[in-house]
Amino acid sequence: MAQVSSADPHDSAEQAARIEKRWAIVIVGIMALLVAVTIFTGLHWAMMPPSRVETIDPSTLHVSGEFVESNLGSAVEANGSVTVRIIGQQYSFTPQCIVVPAKTPIVFRVTSADVVHGMLITGTNINSMVEPGYIATFKTEFDQPGNHLMPCHEFCGVGHEAMWANVKVVDKDVFAKMAANTRRLSCDL
């Protein structure tokens, strides 16, 4: 390789290096700012991605434990919060229609009975993988009543395109009335 030593005097190389260094500092600064924003939002809104690792045997969900069929859906807890338990399976969520109150702390407990699924609730930032062997636990709160779609967002087999559920967020009082009659709620037909 030709080693062209620059005919240029020494300082043009130095000047170039100086400009580069300045640029590098600016870039690192921008990235540091982005990370700082992440940290700030993480502290201010206590926002953090799922971190609650817990295992479960997917082949016996229906036999015993909290994911037996009669225990799925929304449960009102003593402290006023609502726990929603959902199973993802080829090719539906059970319950198919999830009903939750607005302006109430909600804990989701979701797991899969077979393959990897995912769930997102349109119009919100609720988004979780649903994996066999693990329980996804996350906390959230819905601002206002409304209807949302809840597709499975991870390829789970040939019927994946049909795996859609619905989420109904209802007024707190309406939900309380519904909960008076039954211990586990869903809006399945």
Partner 1 sequence: MNSERPRLISLRNPWFTASVGGTLVVLLFSMFVGFIWLPSAQNDALFKGLLDSICSAAGVPRAWLSETSPPVTPQQPVSSVVLTPEMLIGPDTRGSIGRGATLALRCTMCHGARGVSAANTPNLAGQYGPSIYKELRDFQSGARTSAVMAPMVVGLGDQDLRDLSNYYASLPRANSTSAPSAPDIVATGAPMRNIAPCGSCHGGMVNKLGAPWLSPQPRSYLKDQLEAFAQGTRHNDISAQMRNIARNMTPDEIDASVGYYAGNK
Partner 2 sequence: MISNKRLVLAHFWLAFGVFGLAILLGEWQMFIRSPLHAWIRDPDLYYRSVTAHGTVMGYVFPTLIAMGLGYAISELALDQPLVGRRWAWVGYALIIIGSIAAVVPVAMGLDSVLYTFYPPMIGNAFYYIGVVLVVVGSWIWVALMGINLHVWKRAHPGAPVPLAMFANVAGAYLWAWTAVGAALELLFQILPVALGFTSTINAGLSRVLFSWTLHAIVYFWLMPTYIAFYTIVPRAIGGRLYSDTMARISFALFLVFAMPIGIHHLFADPQVGAGFKFVHSVFTALVAVPTFLTVFTICASVEIAARLRGGKGAFGWLKALPWDNPQMLALAFSFVLLGFGGAGGLINMSYQLDSTIHNTQWITGHFHLIFGGAIVIMYFAIAYDLWPHLTGRAMLDLGLIRAQLWLWFVGMIVLTFPWHYAGILGMPRRMAYYDYTAPGMAAEGITVVMSVIGGALLVLSAILFFTVLYRNHSATRVEPAPFTFSKAVHEPTSLPLALNGLGLWVALMIVLTITNYGYPIVQLIGLHNADVPAVFVGAKR
Which residues between 74 and 113 bind partner 1 (CB under 8 A)?
75-79, 83, 87, 89-92, 94-96, 109, 113
Token output for 150: 């809840």
Residue 48 makes contact with partner 1 by CB under 8 A: yes
DSSP H or E segment with residue 112: strand 106-112
Among 159, 171, 182, 183, binds partner 2 (CB under 8 A): 159
CB under 5 to 8 A by kind: which of partner 2, partner 1, none does 125 bind? Answer: partner 2
CB under 5 to 8 A by kind: which of partner 1, partner 2, none does 183 bind? Answer: partner 1
Beta-carbon-side half-sphere exposure of residue 71 (alpha carbons within 13 Å): 12
Among 100, 132, 142, 170, binds partner 2 (CB under 8 A): 132
The residues with which 110 forms a beta bridge, in sequence order, are 86, 136
> Least distance from C-beta 24 to partner 2, angstroms?
6
Separation CA 152–CA 69 (nearest Å)? 20
Separation CA 88–CA 106 (nearest Å)? 19
In three-state secondary structure terms, 85 is strand
Separation CA 145–CA 103 (nearest Å)? 9
Q: Which residues bind partner 1 (CB under 8 A)?
A: 39, 42-44, 46, 48, 51-55, 59-63, 65-72, 75-79, 83, 87, 89-92, 94-96, 109, 113-114, 135, 137, 139, 157-159, 161-165, 183-184, 188-189
